[in-house]
A and B are shown apart, each in its own frame.
Chain A
Amino acid sequence: MTADSFLFFFLAFVTLVSGLAVVLLANPIYSALCLAMTMVGVAGLFVTLNAFFIAGVQLIVYAGAVMVLFVMVLMLFDLRHELAAFTRGKFTGTVKIATVGLLAGLIVGAIMMSSGMLSDRSAQASDVLKTGADTTKDLGTLLFTKYVFGFEALGVLLLVIAIGAVSLARSKGGTHAKH
């Protein structure tokens, strides 16, 4: 087993185990922390695909911002009562087994359906991987030539999200409700 494939299997193992732990653990804080670990694992997988900038962005935005938001908000709510109500019983057991089954089915299906895909595109893709080229400048070039409208639209989308979040925080009965 080469070093590259060992790294890939290790990272895939970490990502999958963390992802399973998100679904199967009872404590929501543990689930959120395992989801952060999953994001870090996905960032590592991006690195094995030579997408270094996207790996860094995944770390900054997903693992460093979104998951911090999740963990902070989960810590604000004392979920122990809700926890007791939700993790007992046959319903949650069935939901957990169904989720694991769905995930396993997705994995098997992806492997079966992609075995033909890889052999067609492998020549082009592995050339990029072999040269180890840095794709950040290509990304920047593409962003401003082909996708410049999407880029501007993204700015407007982020503005809309900001307005929505602030207005959501102003809902009645909350600490920031308008008097």
Chain B
Amino acid sequence: MITIRSDASEMAEALAAGTITSVSLTEQHFEQIAKVDGAVHAFLFLDHEGALEQARAVDAKRVNGETLSPLAGVPLALKDVMAQKGVPTTCGSKILEGWRPPYDATVVTRLKDAGIVILGKTNMDEFAMGSSTENSAYGTTHNPWDLTKIPGGSGGGSSAALAAFEAPLAIGTDTGGSIRQPAAVTGTVGVKPTYGGVSRYGLIAFSSSLDQAGPCARTVLDTAMLHEVIAGHDERDSTSINLPVPQVVKAAKKLDVKGLKIGVVKELQGEGFQDGVLNRFNEALDELVNAGAELVHVSCPSFDYALAAYYLIAPSECSSNLARFDSMRYGIRIGDDGTRSAEEVMNMTRHAGFGPEVKRRIILGTYALSSGYYDAYYGSAQKVRTLLIQDFSAAFLKADVLVSPTSPTTAFAIGQNDNNPLAMYLNDIATIPANMAGIGAMSLPSGLADEDGLPTGFHIMSPAMKDDLMYQVGGTLEAALLSKWGAPLLSKAPDLAVNS
């Protein structure tokens, strides 16, 4: 029987077989949201009307015998960084409060065309800057495993919605780990495709050379199915790759890694990594060896500099991208009393509309790009980017994929890093190199840490446009762990609906 706990692929099969309708499935998810989202706060906006309209349309097409996309009728949670026509889109910021975009992001167009039902918009760190959703202007999202803990960030609303069974599919965006780290700390799956693999049109830009939208779900296969819906060339994004989409669904079903070389990155373990995270990581490596893979050890010395380079490049690009929030064409406007100049109104609006982390990064980026400091900071960071790409190229000569823990720790307590931005930035130490090099990477659950019983993530990086390889390895590892555990990891999470 299909329930909200079923996999998206199972829901899709039941919908195709006619044993359940999309309207019923959609209503079941809204019921779950009504029960648990008061505690979780994954959603910023629920689109009951639009979702049910889409569900009814899909059900009608099915009755008429029309050919539908594999995921037609399955519900999804959309990160609030994506423009959706007529639906409030805030990017977690006060400055966009009340904005309803007049157009759809390409990702949204593809979801709608595939018959996927968008339930609503999920919470996130303001402009996707953060690792905890604590930087949202609309309140923090809580981790369904432990409501006192963060759900990761910036896409913590999407990861929490999956873990709390509020949606079986979600969309995230990943600039330095914002899909993968939330997946890791909530026991879900998240993929950052190769840069250019999914269109950025309608994705509110943070750092354009790093931003990449991607699929999130509870299983590797579900993630792959969503990947194939949203990926592919788009003439509206000049950095979109005009090549066939890697066959990730086929790869996720392969369940075989014989002969594949798995490269363990020396620099992405050890100091700063929690024991329980490393224990689960090493056990997962054993599973891959048992499944026929060969482990090789690789060293990428420049990875030690990736975090520093990222916190120059991303703020630099953000200081430029966020200049568009000038109170002139959309968003809030503060102080326009007829006496003030446009510049004064702009300064007042940006003071009131941006939160502390966004201001910090805009100022940092403005500094890194300023005359006299450009070469020492932004210029040097760009050189580190070259070294990172060279290290990846050398490592991929020795290994088919590279692996590490996704996040150095399990979910930390809400409020723990309030006054320590540098400690917060360390969450992304293992995820950032893939963004800097533009390659694809996945996080999937590797079990619960001994110390705190919270989820840990296994991180797989594959060469550019070989996204199928990470799905092949991820799918195989997931099957091995499932057989070892006897049930999905999320079955061990507390049932939030019980006490509601």
Partners in one complex: no
Q: Which residues of A contact B (CB under 8 A)?
A: none
